[in-house]
Structure 1
Amino acid sequence: MEKTLAAMTRRGFLAVGSAGLGGAALAACTSSSETPEFAADTDALESPMLAELVAAGSLPELAERLPATPMVVEPIEGTGAFGGTLQRAQTDATATGVMQSFAPTGLLEWNVASDASQESLAESYEISDDNRVYTFTLREGLKWSDGEPFTSADLAFAIENWLGNATLVPVPPFWYSDVDQQLPMFDAPDERTVVIEFREPFSLFEKYMCHPGVSTQFIKPKHYLEQFHPDFADQADVDAASAAAGFDSWDQYFADRDNTWTNPDRPTMGAFKVTAPASAQSGTATLERNAYFWKTDPDGRQLPYVDKIQVQVLDQSALDLRAANGDLDFQGYYLGYSTTETYLANAESRGFEVLRWTDTWSLLSLCFNLSHQNEALREVFLLRDFRFAMSHAINRDEINSTLLGGLGIIRNPVAPEGTEYGVDGSGQTAIEYDVDRANELLDGLGLALAGDVRALPDGTPLELTLLYMDDNQGMSRADAFGMVQEMWAAVGVRLNLRPVDSTLYAQLRLANDFDVDGTSMIEEDFDLEPVWFVPTGGNSHTAPGFGLWYSTSGADGIEPPDEFKQLLANWDALRSAPTADDRVASGQEIMQAHNDNVYVIGLMKLPFQPVVVNSSLKNVRDDAPKMSFYYGREGITKTEQIFFE
């Protein structure tokens, strides 16, 4: 850890907007948080809760539970005390993000700066000069949370029997596919070594192995999951067990048993494992420390420092209220931005601090369906002048002033300047509010007014539907899109708003059945999930028909025009780049195309993501790191080393 990071102090904030919670509501709720019990003996090498189990003979000695060479984690502020229960909350009972934030596992992981990889479960690794062959050597003596050995056989199971099973994974994922979507070659010459060989250079694989949402998927306990897999158990027995558990097919049952968030029996390699899943009755999940976790602090003390995590499932208003009341110990994800002023007003009296982390996923945007099933709409959406006109018709300053008190950041979604794929001066194309210019462009396209509404060349009224999931975590999408609705009506384009739940939202996008998608776009690290900027799959926000065409090698979907074929060609070049310079150059071409053509219309993003931290919780970063799914959200602070003072 760099000394500058360890020495950083808490930072202050600007006030934002109006308070999201009333004082009366806050006063009616009393804090339930208490100072957690912890071990004052900082010389102890393991948590007292585990030492008791060792003394009782129900758990092996620490030396038998750790690998020969544990991974050493340098604390941010200093070594800590064992114990305590961390309180968190989330709005979706099925969301598994807490596992990526507090219990990620992978052969590699991000370094502290999150700009390069470092060894994790792998004690060492090598990459061939042409980015084709990746060799990983596991730490000796690694064990699952149930004490069983973790070896290359587990990785072989994940790669050959999960990724390689067409029932479980019908199409190889973009983060583990080779030429023409084949699986790469795999070999496990001994218990500690795995070799993955791609047929062409795969410049991104090292980054994907650090991404906690991807890397964890390679870590599957063969000794437990093989009982649910017909490659290892009798098909009739597997089918019978699946039916008895209430599932229609064995693959559904396998996925259920493989879920570390809902299945406490599933062994894990993470710092914590779920011991009590959230249920409809309790609404609270409990996680406890993994007795076989393979990381220590510099003094040889087994991590994590914290013993337990409790996660409550709440609606957004209740979650924000608990945060403002000091009842959540460490929360950034799911935390409402609009309540920041209330957090700040109550922080000192309620015993917590408010940090400002870098927001990377709040740029509210409008994505026309450029692969629309309706050819007439598709032709119009693909016209750059149409997208420019609709962008010029939006008064972003008014939306910013109304919804974010003028603190929002106005831009189109492209990689920011100064980042790896950033292009100087980008993100501002056609962003000025200019109704005259918007009308001029629309008139020039032959979209004549027929009364108050413009018409397509065939006479059909230009009436569109905006599909979106309502969300109160950031700015109000309903309010923002309602303002766009009025602004577009002023230039003769009728917009209907259609809020839907997450299931229908995904279904309609995959079916290529929408006009405009309203969503928060990423900006940085698009290569870790290219579908946001390049239609690589049917879940594209801008062109699912083109994405399906690409992902099926032309067998399905809609063939894209040349400009999108070029975008896809640039992605292929990025993915298979032989050098980092070649990769970055291809990524910048993709960003330049987005900047020049405004494939996605941006509105604005939040200036920061508030993070509340219990004042007694230490080793939490306060240097404004990225709040990003790609870095495990709160996990970017290396959560295994946080502790209660």
Structure 2
Amino acid sequence: MITRRTALGMLATAALPRTLLGATRELDALAPLVAEGKVPPLSERLPKTPRVINVAAMGREPGRHGGRIRMLIGSVKDIRLMTIYGYTRLVGYDQNLNLHPDVLESYESEEDRIFTFRLREGHKWSDGTPLTAEDFRYCWEDVLLNEDLAPAGLPTALVIDGEAGKFEVLDGRTLRYSWSVPNPDFLQKLAAPQPLVIAMPSAYLKQFHKKYQDEEKLKAILEEERLRKWSQLHMRMARSYRPENPDLPTLDPWRNTTPLPADQFVFERNPYFHRVDENGLQLPYIDRFVLNVSSSALIPAKAGTGESDLQAAGIDFVDYTFLKDAEKRYPVKVKLWKKTQGSRLALLPNLNSADPVWRALLRDVRVRRALSLAIDRREINKAMFYGLTKESADTVLPESPLFEPEFANAWIAHDPDRANALLDEAGLVERDSDGIRLLPDGRRAQIVVETPGESTLDTDVLQLIADYWQKVGISLFIRTSQRDTFRSRAIGGEIIMSMWFGIDNGVPTADMNPGQLAPTADDQLQWPVWGLNYMSHGEMGETPDMPSVVELLKLLKRWRLSSDAAEREEIWKEMLSIYTDQVFSIGLVNASLQPILITEKLRNFPDEGLYGFDPTSYFGVYKTDTFWLEGGN
């Protein structure tokens, strides 16, 4: 049986206009390099069947080559945005969140158990080396199954109910991944903003692998890089999601050309990129992106004074008025896209807190519900978002086919009387002279909420919540810490509660993994230790012991073993019901708006869109490679 998703995959290649394949045109930007013999002609750079992006069918204009886009980033690690914006995947989403082959020429899925991939003939990495089955074999056998490089074993997406996937090379362009039970998550993981990596540029990376490199040469490289272990060297050189190594070949539309350390990174067009427009013009249209590192606090001001041509990272709705005013002085425009997060801001009680008293209290659903009911979301919406957001629990948006009003309305009514009653029922009856409740060990009920402090919005909202909680006998203190320290402090139990975003993907379909609703990762701040246990296949962290959390994991396992669309939808809705009713995340508002500043010269940038990390990869599913600049730089 071949699924519908397979038909889509095969159709995307079958529908390529055959007359187009011989009509591709040389890039003006690369013509001088071709003339000098530094890069081959276009016919030798493109795959035999390039992926055709019909720009006009997307309601946009076929563009022209040239130009430079400047962006501001808050730190060096944010060069990862180019991997997300460029959104080149083996299989990827379109703007309607349908899956299509991208790097792959086609794919077949049999019962969501057996996946057969077909590569494009003549497809090349950015250094001109061929993309072949060897790159997939190397990744599977020499990296993912290598104990030095992957001590935790295969990624969870490749292990189903304890069974590791089987990998086969059928021929130089055909690969197969299979399980004895369904793995409905496999294609979605390949399409993710931080994708599952199953292919690596083996011709380049073998020089850093002890299996393929001469021992003395490898030792010399380690000394040069000031590293002790070959595994550290390989991981550094192979990092593709955060492309710090300019020599690492890529399949993305733009490749980094700047080594560390630097405060400006230049990404230039990949001359071997596999996509063309309907007129045969190789994509991307834009020549290069220049990323300038700046203080996060200064990004809104710099963007509003003409120092960026495309800016969403580092700016928020609180900056909208200032940025909109900049349109009067600079050749820029500001658009508003809808955020995909389940809650723009959410309070995450750490159920793995090292404080035994708070851990027991936060695991009591009455306490979580009381803290939620005490909050006046309508006032937060009006005071912070001009009434433009939707008061909601942390759940999916109406744009998702899984949306139900009962999920959005769970425990969000402003009801201080009921909140007080629930806290009394939980045993927090005694109060001090200030009206603050006393914990069972006699301490005042003081909750320290940690926030990254990257926006004044966080602290402004927490000041309001402090007033609401004061009225029900809970004292709130704000602690600002660096984002990078969050995970380690949360896993160590040092955090009682944090303010972060809600669920990443607020527009899922039943075919997307519901793992965000269960402890599956150590960066989920409400249960990081349980998430670590899941990630490590039980080797690290702790096994969950709360019945409702155990039930979420059972449902997730059922979803991962299901090949029935109706059953997957039923599982999703049951998990959403538990997640919102148990208030594992105290959502505030969603459907918030993200300002995006663009230069007036930028064409094909949609007026409206869904903005979020997952599943849209920010701009990624809208095909950043089809954006172009009127008049060049």
Same fold (TM over 0.5): yes
- Evaluate the alpha carbon distance shift between residue 164 and residue 420 of structure 1 in structure 2; reply closer, same or farther with a 3 A threshold: farther
Letter in 2 for 1:445: A
- C-alpha separation in 1, matches of 2:247 and 2:448: 45
Q: How does 1:194-593 map to 2 (within 5 A)?
A: 194-215=175-196, 217-234=197-214, 237-260=217-240, 261-277=243-259, 279-280=261-262, 283-347=263-327, 349-361=329-341, 363-451=344-432, 452-472=435-455, 476-522=457-503, 523-524=505-506, 532-552=516-536, 556-593=541-578
* Partner SS state of residue 390, structure 1: helix
- C-alpha separation in 2, matches of 1:327 and 1:193: 46
**1:297-349 deviation digits (Å, cap 9, x = unpaired):** 11111111111111111123432223223332222233332221222223254
- C-alpha separation in 1, matches of 2:307 and 2:476: 42
Contact (CA 8 Å) 1:239, 1:249: kept in 2 or not? no
- Evaluate the alpha carbon distance shift between residue 151 and residue 314 of structure 1 in structure 2; reply closer, same or farther with a 3 A threshold: same
Match of 1:112 among 80, 95, 98: 95
Match of 2:70 among 87, 105, 121: 87
* Partner SS state of residue 407, structure 2: coil
- Evaluate the alpha carbon distance shift between residue 243 and residue 453 of structure 1 in structure 2; reply closer, same or farther with a 3 A threshold: farther
Q: Residue 56 of structure 1 corresponds to which residue in structure 2?
A: 36
- Evaluate the alpha carbon distance shift between residue 97 and residue 576 of structure 1 in structure 2; reply closer, same or farther with a 3 A threshold: same
Letter in 1 for 2:185: L
Contact (CA 8 Å) 2:522, 2:531: kept in 1 or not? yes
* Partner SS state of residue 49, structure 1: coil
- Evaluate the alpha carbon distance shift between residue 470 and residue 48 of structure 1 in structure 2; reply closer, same or farther with a 3 A threshold: same
- Say whether 1:138 aligns with 2:119: yes
Q: Residue 7 of structure 1 corresponds to which residue in structure 2?
A: none
* Partner SS state of residue 631, structure 1: coil
Deviates more, 1:132-141 or 1:458-467: 458-467
* Partner SS state of residue 124, structure 1: strand
Contact (CA 8 Å) 1:453, 1:492: kept in 2 or not? yes
- Say whether 1:642 aligns with 2:623: no
- C-alpha separation in 2, matches of 1:285 and 1:500: 27
TM-score relative to the length of structure 1: 0.87
Contact (CA 8 Å) 1:577, 1:583: kept in 2 or not? yes
Provide the identity percentage: 27
- Report how many aligned residue pairs link the two structures: 596
TM-score relative to the length of structure 2: 0.88
Contact (CA 8 Å) 2:157, 2:185: kept in 1 or not? no
* Partner SS state of residue 610, structure 1: strand
State the 1:509 CA deviation. 2.0
- Say whether 1:192 aligns with 2:173: yes
Contact (CA 8 Å) 1:47, 1:83: kept in 2 or not? no
* Partner SS state of residue 386, structure 1: helix
- C-alpha separation in 1, matches of 2:85 and 2:427: 55
State the 1:53 CA deviation. 0.8
State the 1:549 CA deviation. 4.1
Q: Residue 84 of structure 2 corresponds to which residue in structure 1?
A: 101
Q: Considering only aligned residues, what root-mean-square deviation do their CA atoms show, in Å?
A: 2.4
- Evaluate the alpha carbon distance shift between residue 234 and residue 127 of structure 1 in structure 2; reply closer, same or farther with a 3 A threshold: same
- C-alpha separation in 2, matches of 1:51 and 1:116: 36
Contact (CA 8 Å) 2:114, 2:178: kept in 1 or not? yes
**1:377-409 deviation digits (Å, cap 9, x = unpaired):** 333212221111111222223333333333333
* Unpaired runs of at least 5, structure 1: 1-42
- C-alpha separation in 1, matches of 2:517 and 2:236: 32
* Partner SS state of residue 422, structure 1: coil
- C-alpha separation in 2, matches of 1:325 and 1:375: 50
Contact (CA 8 Å) 1:357, 1:627: kept in 2 or not? no
* Partner SS state of residue 465, structure 1: strand
* Unpaired runs of at least 5, structure 2: 1-22
- Evaluate the alpha carbon distance shift between residue 625 and residue 447 of structure 1 in structure 2; reply closer, same or farther with a 3 A threshold: closer
